């Protein structure tokens, strides 16, 4: 595929997880010592999936940032007489029950949907990773307290908390309301996952070795345990982006989402329910964009994980 490889990089090709794992001859190649992040970067940019997914995400990003580049139609212009039209030159993806242009709504829905999906995932994963690592690493009372806190949050019904959070934000219909509501729950699953991984990883010989070599606890936690334990969290986090965008659809359905004066994929998916039988295209398009977004982030996540993960790298 690529001809001008430098000698110290060939190993990554050889050990790509799709090739036979029994090839161990990479150890004969002299390895240049580089920093962990440079090394990861080098792996990432050689992954074609990374490029494909990045380009799609860039396109989606341009829709989110500059919707006017893609459409000039007002997503809120909804003449009822144009209700449920099929695709035409004026409406390339047809219209909704209310007569709004589906194409314009899909483009304009990118910003809130991506913001909700990405921000919630970042907040949830970050908080979850920190709490899970602390609980798993230090154990004892801290673990008990944090684990039971996780239990409590698991027990709070989503709808109940959503209504309660809505009270805090009364009348302001910002996407932050939705992000905050979803984040209240988003950290719980990563936290438990992270804790289980840290519990498992910290038993490894190389951790014991580094402790006996006098490495500090914090250094151990951040430099050795965290990178070795984070892989499953990343593989679920990338799915989460899509799941959170759908979760906004549930919130909208319950009357707790963004509200009719903003556009989002989740809202349009929830609204599509009523005319699903006669006009399935109103469901198809926002769902398709959602699927493509999720897929891109899963690929991107896989590329990054493979690069960061010391186990998968050899």
Based on CB atoms, which residue is closest to other proteins, 31 or 311? Answer: 311
Would you say 69 or 276 has its CB closer to other proteins? 276
DSSP 8-state code for residue 260: T
Q: How far is the CB of 262 from other proteins (least distance, A)?
A: 9
Nearer to other proteins, 69 or 130 (CB): 130
**Burial class (CB within 10 angstroms; exposed 0-12, middle 13-18, buried 19+) of 225:** buried
Task: Report the nearest approach of other proteins to the CB of residue 267 (Å).
Answer: 10
Q: Is 257 helix (H, G, I), strand (E, B) or coil?
A: coil
Contact 278, 258 (CB under 8 A): no
CB of 58 to other proteins, least distance (A): 20
* Shortest distance (Å) from residue 260 CB to other proteins: 4
- The nearer residue to other proteins, 71 or 287, going by C-beta atoms, is 287
Please, what is the minimum distance in Å from the beta carbon of residue 185 to other proteins?
A: 9
Question: Taking the complex as a whole, how short is the minimal distance between the CB of residue 245 and other proteins, in angstroms?
Answer: 9
Query: Would you say 8 or 309 has its CB closer to other proteins?
Result: 309
Find out whether 257 and 248 touch, Cβ atoms under 8 Å: yes
Q: Report d(CA 113, CA 284) in Å as an integer.
A: 16
Beta bridge partners of residue 101, listed in sequence order: 95
Residue 44 is given by DSSP the state H
Report the helix count and the strand count for the chain, using DSSP H and E: 15, 0
DSSP for 94-141 reads -B-TT--BHHHHHHHHHHHHHHHHHHHHHHHHHHHHHHHHHHHHH-HH
Nearer to other proteins among residue 13 and residue 66 (C-beta): 13
């Amino acid at each position: 595929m690529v001809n001008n490889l430098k000698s110290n990089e060939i190993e990554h090709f050889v050990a790509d997880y799709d090739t036979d794992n029994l090839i161990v001859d990479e150890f004969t190649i002299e390895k240049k010592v580089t920093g962990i992040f440079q090394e990861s970067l080098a792996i990432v940019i050689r992954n074609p999936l990374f490029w494909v997914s990045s380009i799609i995400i860039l396109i989606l990003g341009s829709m989110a940032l500059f919707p006017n580049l893609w459409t000039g139609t007002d997503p809120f212009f909804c003449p009822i007489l144009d209700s449920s039209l099929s695709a035409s030159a004026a409406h390339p993806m047809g219209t909704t029950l209310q007569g709004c242009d589906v194409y314009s709504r899909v483009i304009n829905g990118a910003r809130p949907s991506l913001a909700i999906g990405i921000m919630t995932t970042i907040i949830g994963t970050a908080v979850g990773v920190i709490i899970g690592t602390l609980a798993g690493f230090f154990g004892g009372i801290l673990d008990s307290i944090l684990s039971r806190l996780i239990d409590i949050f698991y027990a709070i019904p989503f709808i109940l908390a959503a209504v309660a959070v809505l009270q805090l934000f009364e009348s302001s219909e910002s996407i932050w309301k939705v992000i905050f509501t979803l984040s209240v729950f988003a950290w719980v699953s990563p936290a438990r996952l992270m804790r289980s991984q840290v519990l498992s990883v910290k038993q490894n010989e190389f951790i014991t070795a580094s402790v006996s070599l006098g490495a500090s606890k914090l250094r151990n936690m951040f430099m050795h345990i965290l990178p070795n334990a984070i892989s499953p969290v990343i593989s679920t986090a990338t799915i989460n982006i899509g799941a959170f965008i759908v979760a906004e659809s549930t919130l909208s359905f319950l009357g707790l989402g963004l509200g009719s004066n903003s556009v989002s994929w989740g809202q349009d998916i929830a609204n599509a329910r009523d005319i699903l039988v006669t006009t399935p295209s109103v469901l198809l398009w926002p769902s398709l964009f959602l699927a493509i977004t999720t897929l891109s982030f899963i690929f991107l996540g896989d590329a990054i994980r493979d690069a960061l993960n010391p186990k998968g790298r050899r």
